[in-house]
Amino acid sequence: MNLRKLLIGLLSMLIISTISYGLQIEEPEYQPKIIHPGDDVDLWIKIVNDNYENKVKNIVVEVTPHYPFELRQVNPTKGKVIINSLNPGEPYTAYFKLHVNENAPSNDYRIDVKVNYDEVYEDNGKETVVHYNFTKVYYIHIYGTASFEISGNTNLTPAKTEVVPINIKNTGTGTAKEVNVYIGYKLNPTPVGSEIKTVEYPGGITTEEQKNIIYPTVISLTDLPISPVDITKFYLGALKPDSKKTINVKFHVSPNLVEGVYQIPIVVTWTDEDGSKKAEQISLGVYVKGDIILSISNVVTDPKEIKPGDNYVRIDTTITNNGHAEAKDVKLKLITKYPFKDSWSNCNIKDIGNLKPGESKTVSFFVDVNKYAKTEHYQLPIEFSYLDPQDNKHKGIKYIDIYVKSKPLFEILTKEVNVTAGKENKVYIKIKNIGSEKAERVKISVIKNSGQPFDYPIKSDTIGTLYPNQTGVGVISIDVDKSAPTKPYIITLEIRCAGDSDEGDNNVYIYQEPLKVNVISSNGSTIVPILIGTIILVIIIGIYIKFMKNRKNHE
């Protein structure tokens, strides 16, 4: 039974292998010729109607990439090219664009090319259409690239020579060959000329690209605070991806060296899998133990220009440990006082963890500025606390300088106005620039509220320029409905102005303030005197009656 199945399988494979398709696929062409992880690849699939008797039509060429390829081409249908027809012997080149995953290791990777088409057979004027489909598998090589990481546990002591193990790890995707490590060197790329590279595209199209040739030269450094002793060059051979090798380097620390973190320059040279020469300069940080000095610098605000009335002003500061020992459990607190206040509760208490020597961290505080703040420099205190390596607690205070810039600010001196129902009333509104900056093109406007019985034939007036502490008057016209109830209303005034252009302030400022409007009845002028007269008459009559009663009592 098993022998029978084997014979049937072999026979099936023989039949499949003898099938001849009229449509043929040539070897794919692609650019660049040498592909690396992260590259975008132009892929051309050339198909030819190899049957010189029959026409083919309804041709669909599909590309199915496997990892690390993904489709990026812009055909109407992703991964598919549709061709109406091909005459006998006619070729067609289908274009696709692929992207290579950035983490792809070196290898040959599969691409499937599937073709569906109909072949038209003619016999005595009668057409017969036969559908075919087949898939071809191709492999494209990806050349991984090497990348290096250098690490080492380096706690050094001044005036001593110590051996430090240093790990060199290939964190890239390709094997690095002929790896050399230079301790205490710097990389000096040296131009040695140029070359012209010819790039060929399908259809016989070629382009020429000029490329500069730069040779990586390594130069030994002297007078380093931490200097390598004895061997400074190490040959490691080949390093596969994710593999590492350890070298033991002897360092001498200068006796005059203060405690801190220092960088040792290291150069790594190697040959990538595609044969290209590579070099990289990497710094290894070494540590010399010492004291803790915290400093606060690089104060940056958003907005850059802080003005009275600004809310949620962000203050970014950088705290740096300029000492030589690690500060642990570092806490900061911004102390706000007039004209500043916290934008929200606890927004200015920061716990930034540990700070190693030479390490910096940026923290953000948020404050609101009182709208009546004066234009001047303010010193905002920042309290800080930390633990030293022995867990002793330390406290301190630093100050940052915050400058509040001037801007116009207005007060409406006219607190309320009276208007008569059924009439158009001119209203004079007096305002004052109580800010510390000149206001240009000051304009006052009223914002109409459809729920109020008012119309505004003149709804705005331009006052002009107002210097600090200067007043101005604007006029608006309020047309009150005849049936408007006699009562007070609150309308909204908008004051718009530009900043002082002489000081470079081209901002536009907009303020909205309320104004009380008292509506008086149109016949209120006659009613009031009548009421007053009536009251006086009642008083006179009352006095007369009392006088007559007293007179009768005396008689």
In angstroms, the CA 527 to CA 491 distance is 27
Mean local confidence (pLDDT), 279-301 = 85
Tens digit of pLDDT for each residue in 428-483? 999 999 888 899 999 999 999 988 999 999 999 999 999 999 999 999 999 999 98
Q: How far is CA 304 from CA 307, 315, 369, 398, 502, in A?
A: 10, 10, 14, 21, 19
φ, ψ for residue 421, nearest 5 deg:
-65, 140
**What pLDDT shows up at residue 10?**
44
**What pLDDT shows up at residue 287?**
81
For residue 329, how many other CB atoms are within 10 A of its CB? 14
**Strands laid side by side in the 148-151 sheet:** 148-151, 161-170, 244-253, 226-229
Please, which pLDDT band fits residue 157 given cuts at 50, 70 and 90? confident
**What pLDDT shows up at residue 435?**
87
pLDDT tops 90 at residue 291: no
Mean local confidence (pLDDT), 247-252 = 92
**What pLDDT shows up at residue 206?**
61
What is the signed CA dihedral for 506, 507, 512, 513, rounded to 10 degrees? Answer: -60
**What pLDDT shows up at residue 552?**
64
**What pLDDT shows up at residue 428?**
93
Compute the Cα dihedral for 341, 344, 348, 349 and give only its sign: positive
State pTM to two decimals. 0.46
Instruction: Give the chain's radius of gyration (CA, Å).
Output: 44
Q: How far is CA 256 from CA 84, 260, 321, in A?
A: 81, 12, 21
Which residue did the predictor score with more confidence, 53 or 384? Answer: 384
* Distance linking the first and last C-alpha atoms of the chain: 157
The lowest-confidence range among 40-44, 127-131, 166-170, 380-384 is 127-131
In angstroms, the CA 150 to CA 103 distance is 20
In 3D space, the residue among 330, 336, 331 whose CA is nearest the CA of residue 373 turns out to be 336
Which residue did the predictor score with more confidence, 357 or 82? Answer: 82
In 3D space, the residue among 417, 405, 385, 389 whose CA is nearest the CA of residue 488 turns out to be 417
Secondary structure element (H or E) that encloses residue 513, with its range: strand 508-520
Q: Are 263 and 283 in contact (CB under 8 A)?
A: yes
Q: How far is CA 506 from CA 135, 214, 404, 458, in A?
A: 68, 51, 17, 28
**What pLDDT shows up at residue 531?**
61
Please, which pLDDT band fits residue 526 given cuts at 50, 70 and 90? very low
State the pairing for strand pair 176-183/260-271. Answer: antiparallel
Please, which pLDDT band fits residue 375 given cuts at 50, 70 and 90? confident
Tens digit of pLDDT for each residue in 7-47? 444 444 443 343 456 788 989 999 999 999 999 999 999 99
For residue 424, how many other CB atoms are within 10 A of its CB? 14
In angstroms, the CA 171 to CA 463 distance is 70
Q: Are 261 and 293 in contact (CB under 8 A)?
A: no
pLDDT tops 70 at residue 212: no
What's the length of the chain?
555
Q: How far is CA 420 from CA 19, 41, 317, 448, 526, in A?
A: 103, 81, 59, 18, 13
Report the mean per-residue pLDDT for the chain: 85
SS3 145: coil
Mean local confidence (pLDDT), 357-382 = 91
Q: How far is CA 275 from CA 29, 86, 146, 216, in A?
A: 21, 42, 12, 15
Residue 258 is classified by DSSP as P
**What pLDDT shows up at residue 188?**
83
pLDDT tops 70 at residue 73: no
Strand partners, 144: none
Tens digit of pLDDT for each residue in 305-348? 898 888 999 999 999 988 767 899 999 999 999 999 999 988 89
What is the signed CA dihedral for 266, 267, 270, 276, rounded to 10 degrees? Answer: 150
Structure tokens at 94: 């289908």
**What pLDDT shows up at residue 536?**
79
Mean local confidence (pLDDT), 498-510 = 88
Residue 306 is classified by DSSP as B
Which residue did the predictor score with more confidence, 551 or 257? Answer: 257
**What pLDDT shows up at residue 272?**
92
Tens digit of pLDDT for each residue in 111-152? 999 999 998 888 777 888 889 999 999 999 999 999 999 998
